[in-house]
């Protein structure tokens, strides 16, 4: 049998060339059929609304992709608040961070829990400085108020050594 009767050149290069030629022929036929039906192929790729255009060959930097995602979903401020809460020790210092914990942020108000009434008082005295420092991290005007509460301890014990009707010293003894 000759090479022509078995389908021609069977080398990898010959098979690839034959496949490429067949693909070009089929593509040309599909385009011609589409033109007959009045459905011309697009000359430009489809574009999604709201997605910034960039060069097709350029990869998007990871940091920019994350910023774009946060902006598209409206998560910029919650992500920034989470970052501040995660870096609380760096922002307020190790001593204050050792006795306080940020709990929530809503409507410009940061709620901070202190481990004793003495530290709660200290944070209340430092509230304006803390607001300024947080706004340096988050953007001017983001934090308007710092609300501080002391430790959450249960009800005060009653007993024989307690004066009835007295509120006691009002400290948590922490």
Strands (DSSP E) contained in the chain are: 100-106, 109-114, 145-149
Neighbouring C-beta atoms of residue 113, cutoff 10 Å: 18
**pLDDT for the residue numbered 124:** 92
**pLDDT for the residue numbered 95:** 92
Give the C-alpha separation, 113 to 125, whole Å. 14
**pLDDT for the residue numbered 50:** 63
pLDDT along the chain (174 residues), means of 10: 50 77 84 75 62 66 84 79 82 89 86 90 91 85 87 65 61 52
**pLDDT for the residue numbered 2:** 46
Residues 6+ apart with CB under 8 A from 114: 99, 100, 120, 122, 123, 148, 149, 150, 151
User: What letter does residue 3 receive in the DSSP assignment?
Assistant: T
Pairing mode of beta strands 109-114, 100-106: antiparallel
- Tell me the whole-structure pTM to 2 decimals: 0.50
């Amino acid at each position: 049998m000759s090479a022509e009767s078995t389908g021609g050149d069977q080398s990898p290069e010959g098979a690839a060339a034959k496949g490429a030629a067949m693909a070009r022929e089929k593509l040309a036929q599909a385009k011609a059929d589409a033109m007959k039906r009045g459905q011309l192929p697009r000359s430009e790729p489809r574009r999604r609304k709201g997605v910034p255009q960039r060069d097709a060959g350029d990869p998007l930097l990871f940091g920019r992709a994350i910023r774009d995602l946060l902006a598209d979903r409206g998560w910029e401020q919650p992500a920034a608040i989470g970052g501040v809460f995660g870096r609380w020790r760096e922002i307020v210092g190790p001593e204050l961070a050792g006795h306080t914990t940020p709990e929530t942020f809503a409507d410009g108000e940061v709620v901070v829990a202190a481990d004793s009434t003495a530290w709660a008082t200290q944070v209340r005295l430092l509230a304006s400085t803390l607001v300024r420092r947080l706004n340096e991290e988050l953007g001017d005007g983001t934090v308007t108020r710092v609300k501080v509460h002391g430790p959450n301890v249960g009800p005060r014990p009653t007993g024989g050594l307690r004066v009835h009707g007295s509120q006691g010293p009002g400290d948590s003894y922490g």
